[in-house]
Structure formats: C-alpha cells, structure tokens
Amino acid sequence: MKRPARIRVLGKQFVVSFVTSDAAGLRDSPDDNDPGMGRCDPETQSIFIREGQPIESEQDTVLHEVLHAVENAMGLEVDEERVTRLATGLLAVIRDNPGFVRYLATKGKK
C-alpha cells in the first residue's frame, strides 16, 4: 500500500514522515519521554507517524493528525479525546463507503 508523502489541508501542504519511536518529531518537547503514535506540527506543516503500527492503526493515526491540522487551520479547539473519536468514526465511514468517498472527492464542473 502506498503511504501518503504529502497531504494538502485547506491549501497547506503537509509533509508526512513515517518515523521510528525515538524520532524527535514525535515529541512535543525534547524532554517528552512519552512519544505518541503520531504528531502534527502546524508551524512546520509536518505530520509524523510512528512506524510499526498495524495498518489499521496507522491509518487511524494519519487521519487523527490530519484532523489536528484541520483543527489548527480553522481555529478550532477540539480536545484530544474528541479528535481520537472523530478520526476513528470517520475512518469507519470511509472504509465502509468507497463509493461515497469517490462522490465526495469528485469536483464539480467549472
């Protein structure tokens, strides 16, 4: 399966990096000893995804970090728990409805 290298979020190109658990990009600060499965840094338009997750978890993590990027771009404040639940719920709808996803992705004629 082809992993995304870049994801555009509301006109901003985010670079997606798949990294090992010791990567600095996964940490909120240099002394953060508990790196998560992913991290979104809107400042540098970077998304870091921890290697070694089962594919279903990895996809959930990528969508989760994209939701953080959307949250930031739109000036929302969504708590971590809600971002987690939204990502899991949206991913389930996306997986169960490929035709619906194609419909949503279709751009209208200009």
**Least separation, in Å, of the C-beta of 94 and Zn ion?**
18
Residue 45: exposure state from Cβ atoms within 10 A (0-12, 13-18, ≥19): middle
**Selected range binding Zn ion among 14-22, 53-61, 78-86, 92-100, rule: CB under 5 A:** 78-86
Please tell me the distance from the alpha carbon of residue 104 to that of residue 89, in angstroms, as a whole number: 17
Q: Considering the complex, state which of residue 86 and residue 94 has its C-beta at the smaller distance from Zn ion.
A: 86
Please tell me the distance from the alpha carbon of residue 28 to that of residue 34, in angstroms, as a whole number: 9
Q: Considering the complex, state which of residue 24 and residue 100 has its C-beta at the smaller distance from Zn ion.
A: 24
Binding residues for Zn ion, per CB under 5 A? 83
